Structure 1
Amino acid sequence: MSQVGEIYRVAGPVVTAIGLNARMYDVVKVGKEGLMGEVIEIDNEKAIIQVYENTSGIRPGEPVENTGLPLSVELGPGLLTSIYDGIQRPLPVLTEKMGNFITRGVSAPGLSRTAKWKFVPTVKAGDKVKGGSIIGTVQETKTILHKVMVPPNVPETSIKDIKEGEYTVEDVIGHLENGTELKLMHKWPVRSPRPYNEKLRPDIPLITGQRILDGLFPIAKGGTAAIPGPFGSGKTVTQQQLAKWSDAEIVVYIGCGERGNEMTEVLAEFPHLTDPKTGNPLMHRTVLIANTSNMPVAAREASVYTGITIAEYYRDMGYGVSLMADSTSRWAEAMREISSRLEEMPGEEGYPAYLAARLSEFYERAGRVITPMGQEGSVTVIGAVSPPGGDFSEPVTQNTLRIVKVFWALDAKLAQRRHFPAINWLNSYSLYQDSLKDWYDKNISPKWNTLKAQSMELLQRESELQEIVQLVGSDALPEDQQLTLEIARMIREYFLQQNAYHDVDTFCSLQKQFMMLDSIMTFGAYAKAALGAGVPMQKILALKSKTDLAKVKFEPDFEKYLKDIDAQMKAEFKSLEAA
């Protein structure tokens, strides 16, 4: 039952009200315009509210109505292809109502109330069901079959009646014996993780098609990763590549506090991208949440919870979901601003003392799980971090590092050299290497992990030798060390560099990655043997097979091309040693 109080004090996006009889996280309507807000602190009879819209002009004495419900999202068919703001207001619907500038106090339901969906039940009267049980399907898009579920908090009971037909999300499609009405949609509070039966070990990789990620720093399905980097180093492009090419079935992309022009680019490009797996638009399996830096900070703080709840919903259907948060630094800045308005004791650099706890709450909702119905689903969370000036020692980056298992460190110097993806192979790491080792051995090659270790060793050795080269030049090094530098350069330029805008090179299968790396390391082994047999370094560097290896990444028929190169390489080195 709703309660009505009045505003006592206003401090930017934070409002203090009295007489509300509120609970933590209740949603309230603030002022005469009914601005949406959420109770974030209670002090005796006073309730502190964060408002999701601009509070200019709101004055003490105006009414505040408590809805008695927590901030929740609507979950049902129609989520895919949608573009929302941080509190699940559909932006295209609001644009039709009022143009490009959203008026304060305006709202719209997250799911269309007029769209009809063809519902096909998979259960019948008398069947036992419980929270999370799948009771039917709706073909949401050409790509995704939406599985309609009993809300998670419903105890076990039986189906009383259920019928096939075309329904809106508010129509009753059946009843349970305990009196619960079944609809195509249900609501779920965003700050509460959805239940599951069991969390599984992260031993299956999320295949991204990006060589430096799959090859050197893999992420597991249901894993967590951070992409920190300064402005212009490629965070957004990397996340868009992951959204387009990773083998997740559903993508949730949260533009959390990004600059307006960057979010505009995402909103303009995504609807026109083609899903390479199906040929249908990528939006058919994507949900976009747009919350730019000029939108209210409170809505920005809520946007990541909205996104992760939608991701968990599709996970419960048995899908693999990939969630991109761009960027968690802006989210943390929103928390910092709200915390300062609340006059809380600040932590490091002004961030709230509970920053690490909030980051943990978010990332811990990732995982590959067994759903209540025994299906396997996953949510993989990849968060971009935007440290000021690229300083990884700042609090958001450091607290994120303590939580996530994969660290893809973007480097401004690599970006300036036009080496993309600009992920620094010396600073990055993956803690999933050991748990994924068996999968790569079984599904790709027993040589995979050995090749990866040899590559990293060469790159590390190159870094050490570069210090000497800067002092005396590479010509002063012994020939075996010059060869080490050359093979490391081949790994960097032939394998790690990848062109996101090239039709072939934008995606690289694991088999192609293995064959490319194997060929480079084979060339290195032949070259080392030839050098030991007295062949001059210059003759080795002039071989045609070495030049041809650089072109493999752009070849669609890579298997035949690499086999020809391997044969050519063998013949060339045999000829060199004979001479």
Structure 2
Amino acid sequence: MKVGKIIKVSGPLVVAEGMDEANVYDVVKVSDNKLIGEIIEMRGDRASIQVYEETTGIGPGEPVYTTGTPLSVELGPGLLESMFDGIQRPLTSIMELVGDFLVKGVEVPALNREKVWHFVPVVKAGDSISHGDIIGTVQETSIIEHRIMVPKGISGTVKEIAEGDFTVADTVCTLEDGTKINMIQKWPVRRGRPYDHKLNPDAPLVTGQRVIDTFFPVSKGGTAAVPGPFGSGKTVVQHQLAKWADSEIVVYVGCGERGNEMTDVLMEFPEIKDPKTGESLMKRTVLIANTSNMPVAAREASIYTGITIAEYFRDMGYSVAIMADSTSRWAEALREMSGRLEEMPGDEGYPAYLGSRAADFYERSGKVVCLGSDGRMGAITVIGAVSPPGGDISEPVSQATLRIVKVFWGLDANLAYRRHFPAINWMNSYSLYQAKVDKWMDANVENTFASNRAKAMALLQEESGLQEIVRLVGRDSLSEGDQLKLEAAKSIREDYLQQNAFHEVDTYSSLDKQNLMLKCVLAFYDEGKRALDNGIYLNDIIKLSVRDRIARMKYLPENEISKINEVMKELVKAVDDLIEEGGILNA
């Protein structure tokens, strides 16, 4: 092992000389404390190293040991229900070993080497296997089957494989050429895992959040950004997606967020019942926590650690959702390291390569055909929160993100202050998957879903224009038809888009319920127009008692959503009665 020597320490950045045999992105051990670091720049025999631990107390002259390998993660049984830091150190195991605070140079393997798993082979002696083939399964949690795959660079004929109880480091399969396979794979975090080919992401990731599923859907295998100012609900939106989205695996990366928010995740997720299985949500979740008071360099690595773990589960054929909260804190770590390297700054001090680094992360999403002879499909959906200072999305991180992602859920502080949650502004948000998802919705929910969505969005856009007139000359200056549009748009906003994340029923809406609710809200507008055409006054339409039932339909449990059809029938009858009364009075 080649040993270098420290010549400069600048916070998390260490410069060492005598490193001519090392390569960029190699992992090194810094000082006698063996702090974990990664080479990020080479100039001659001088290496600039970002250290993933606290560097207090180290100085020039101390040794640097090169390992010759890039920063990698361990992949295998034991990932689910675990909490890691940004470089995949298991925080629970470290706490049991050294207490509540990280100690310099502490080394604990990411995957438990002592826990025994029951391995069930799916191939037999004499079978030919190659990279990506599944050789056996382990029941990792009560709801997730962990599929053991052949690592890269290995192929051949199975000589020996048997069912039994093994640790992750034990040999479970031996090939004819003597190659031994265990249940651990190592993979460098900065390199995407290979797949056969990408597919068109045409099916939506159903989230149960009405404003998202109906108006701004994200595809399975797509990318979305959630920018918004402080207090507008970014974290709650991501928690809702983690809880309710129809992905099989959730990877939640707390990147530079407050410690108490990660505490909330740790306290809440085990108590949340998975709607599909009735089990704890943690049984299909991996948490990566790099809070704001943890070493800044590890924050930069945390999202790569998260996406690599997500790719591993994708390769098994699962649909994975990864939440990065927040990529702004990750970009701040990039800016700090760039400044210490004395690189030429770009906009607002961020490095010139901010956009390409963000693209490296988001482009690892996708719906793919995985490697392996069975042709299984997997998907990674990436949802990144962005925290622009003061809510100004013209700043560099937001703009770099928007150039890459295809869904923009713009959170609005004014909506949040009015207690309208999710505070996604329907006037400036968009989804570039809309056309694909409309076809899917029409085929799988109801063939009028897309047209109803377009009609509701048109009403909301018309409301925006009419509100300008109301502010200038007052509501009474509008025709009754335009005033009805305002009432219908208000119903869409308050009865449909507004959703209570903390109400046990309203927190999630199935697509069938969303379809019926939207039809009911639009039926009020259509019936109102019919009443106006028959000479009924707008005030009489607004005062219809059935409107209370329309406002309460969001609280109907999923097994009672057929009652929404009754509400629509009651609405038609109420308007018929108004028209009949009006006819009698006119006579």
Deviation for aligned residue 1:560: 2.9
Between the aligned partners of 1:515 and 1:77, the Cα distance in structure 2 is: 42
The corresponding residue for 2:568 is: 566
Between stretches 15-24 and 297-306, larger displacement belongs to: 15-24
The Cα of 1:474 is off from its aligned counterpart by: 1.5
* Rounded Cα–Cα distance in structure 2 between residues aligned with 1:467 and 1:104: 60
Match of 1:80 in 2: 80
Secondary structure of 2:97's counterpart equals: helix
> What amino acid is aligned across from residue 78 of structure 1 in structure 2?
G
Instruction: Report the Cα offset of residue 476 of structure 1.
Output: 2.5
Report the CA distance between 1:322 and its aligned residue.
0.3
- Aligned counterparts of 1:163 and 1:561: Cα–Cα separation in 2: 55
Residue 443 of structure 1: aligned partner: 444
Q: What is the identity, as a one-letter code, of the residue corresponding to 2:136?
A: G
1:263 Cα deviation after fit: 1.9
User: Which deviates more from structure 2 when the two are superposed, residues 300-309 or residues 170-179?
Assistant: 170-179
1:547 paired to 2:548: yes
Alignment of 1:415-494 (within 5 A): 415-494=416-495
SS of 1:89's equivalent in the other structure is coil
Q: Where do 1:16-31 residues align within 5 Å?
A: 16-20=15-19, 21-31=21-31
Deviations 1:363-411 (A, max 9, x none): 0000000001210000000000000010110000011000000000000
Confirm or deny: 8 A CA contact 1:289 1:307 kept in the other structure.
Answer: yes
| Partners of 2:443 and 2:274 in 1: CA distance | 28
Give the CA deviation at 1:125.
1.4
Deviation at 1:336, TM superposition (A): 0.3
Distance across 2 between alignment mates of 1:229 and 1:11:
33
Residue 37 of structure 1 corresponds to which residue in structure 2?
37
Q: 2:580 aligns to what?
A: 578
Q: CA deviation at 1:467?
A: 1.0
Q: Which SS does the other structure have where 1:107 is aligned?
A: coil
Alpha-carbon shift at residue 283 of structure 1 (Å): 0.6
What's the counterpart of residue 317 of structure 1?
316
Counterpart of 2:538?
Answer: 537
Shift of 1:437: 2.1
Amino acid at match of 2:227: P
1:250 corresponds in structure 2 to 249
Which residue identity is paired with 1:439?
W
Partner of residue 67, structure 1: 67
User: Separation in 2 of the partners of 1:163 and 1:343?
Assistant: 56
Deviates more, 1:11-20 or 1:319-328: 11-20
State the SS of the aligned residue for 2:204.
coil
Output the CA distance in 2 between the equivalents of 1:124 and 1:456.
57
Pair 1:236 & 2:252 matched: no
Q: Distance in 2 between matches of 1:236 and 1:17?
A: 40
Q: 1: CA distance between counterparts of 2:522 and 2:514?
A: 12
Alpha-carbon offset, residue 259 of structure 1:
1.4
Cα pair 1:512 1:558 within 8 Å, conserved? no
Distance 1:274 1:520 in 2: 31
Deviations 1:189-248 (A, max 9, x none): 111100000100010110000000001000000000000001111111110110010000
Structure 2 Cα separation of the partners of residues 126 and 456 of structure 1: 60
Aligned to 1:291: 290
Structure 1 residue identity aligned to 2:46: K
SS of residue in 2 equivalent to 1:333 = helix
Q: Which residue does the alignment assign to 1:326?
A: 325
Question: Does residue 102 of structure 1 match 2:133?
Answer: no
The residue that corresponds to 2:305 in the other structure is 306
* Counterpart mapping for 1:108-123 below 5 A: 108-123=108-123
Q: How far 1:274 sits from its partner (Å)?
A: 1.9
- The letter for the 2-side match of 1:550 is A
Aligned partners of 1:152 and 1:195 also within 8 Å:
no
Between stretches 268-277 and 306-315, larger displacement belongs to 268-277
- Please name the residue that 1:279 is paired with: 278
Structure 1 residue 137, shift from structure 2 partner: 0.2
Q: What is the alpha-carbon distance in structure 1 between the residues aligned to residue 152 and residue 241 of structure 2?
A: 30
Task: Tell me if the contact between 1:152 and 1:194 (Cα under 8 Å) persists in the aligned partners.
Answer: no
Q: Contact conserved, 1:552 with 1:558, CA < 8 A, in 2?
A: no
Q: Distance in 1 between matches of 2:532 and 2:494?
A: 23
Secondary structure in structure 2 of the residue aligned to 1:241: helix
Q: How many residues align?
A: 577
Percent identity between the two aligned chains: 59
Q: Distance in 2 between matches of 1:180 and 1:333?
A: 44
Equivalent residue for 2:174?
A: 175
Distance 2:238 2:74 in 1: 26
Gaps of 5+ in 2: 582-587
Q: Deviations over 1:322-345 (max 9, x none)?
A: 000000000000000000000000
- Unpaired runs of 5+ residues, structure 1, are none
Aligned to 1:364: 363
Secondary structure of 2:221's match? coil
- Report SS of the residue matched to 2:29: strand
State the shift of 1:501 in Å. 0.7
Counterpart CA distance in 2 for 1:366 and 1:153 is 24
Q: Tell me the SS of whatever aligns to 1:550.
A: helix
Mapped contact 2:259–2:292 kept (Cα < 8 A): yes
Q: How many Å apart are 1:267 and its aligned residue?
A: 2.1
Instruction: Describe the SS at the equivalent of 1:172.
Output: coil
Amino acid at match of 1:561: K
**Is residue 354 from structure 1 mapped to residue 353 from structure 2 by the alignment?**
yes
In structure 1, what is the Cα distance between the partners aligned to 2:179 and 2:470?
A: 74
Q: Distance in 1 between matches of 2:97 and 2:476?
A: 69
- How many angstroms apart in 1 are the aligned matches of 2:106 and 2:89? 9
TM-score between both structures, scaled by the size of structure 2: 0.97
Preserved CA contact (<8 Å) 2:516 2:565: no
In structure 2, how many angstroms separate the alpha carbons of the residues matched to 1:153 and 1:56? 41
How far apart are residue 98 of structure 1 and its match? 1.6
Aligned to 2:143: 143
Q: State the alpha-carbon separation in 2 of the partners of residues 362 and 251 from structure 1.
A: 17
CA–CA distance in 1 between the matches of 2:42 and 2:505? 57
CA contact under 8 A between 2:197 and 2:369: conserved in structure 1?
yes
Shift of 1:152: 2.7
Q: Distance in 1 between matches of 2:133 and 2:27?
A: 29
Matches of 1:318 and 1:262 in 2, distance apart?
A: 31
Q: Deviations over 1:399-440 (max 9, x none)?
A: 100000000000000000000000000010000011222211
1:157 alignment partner in structure 2:
156
Q: Determine helix, strand or coil for the equivalent of 2:224.
A: strand
What is the TM-score with the length of structure 1 in the denominator? 0.98
C-alpha distance in 2 between matches for 1:188 and 1:179: 22
